[in-house]
Amino acid sequence: MAYHSFLVEPISCHAWNKDRTQIAICPNNHEVHIYEKSGAKWTKVHELKEHNGQVTGIDWAPESNRIVTCGTDRNAYVWTLK
């Protein structure tokens, strides 16, 4: 089993993309960070910062590659990564 620390603790939620080469994590605040794996290294490639309250849920659609987030601000956002 491999282990990687993203230097954010604790996280409130996370979701993997279809082939597990990217992960979306919330560092227990209003942001979502997207990391991408290249070899043995993980690199932050996006920061999603639209929520005004803590993000409480993340899901990653395997076919469309869209991410949905919801938070304590009572909003849900659908993200399309480019």
Q: Name the domain count of the chain.
A: 1
The single-letter code of the amino acid at 37 is K
Other residues' Cβ atoms within 10 Å of the Cβ of residue 64? 10
Please indicate, yes or no, if residue 7 is contained in any of the structural domains: no
Please indicate, yes or no, if residue 25 is contained in any of the structural domains: yes
CA distance 69 to 1: 28
Which pLDDT value is given to residue 82?
75
Residue 55 structure tokens? 């993000």
Residue 42 structure tokens? 């993980």
Please indicate, yes or no, if residue 17 is contained in any of the structural domains: yes
Q: What is the pLDDT of residues 11-48, one digit of tens each?
A: 899 999 999 999 999 999 999 999 999 998 999 999 99
Q: Give the domain extent around 42.
A: 13-80
Residue 22 structure tokens? 């990217």
Please indicate, yes or no, if residue 6 is contained in any of the structural domains: no
Confidence label for 6 from pLDDT (cuts 50, 70 and 90): low
Which pLDDT value is given to residue 3?
55
Q: What is the pLDDT of residues 55-77, one digit of tens each?
A: 999 999 999 999 999 999 999 99
Please indicate, yes or no, if residue 40 is contained in any of the structural domains: yes
pTM given for the model: 0.87
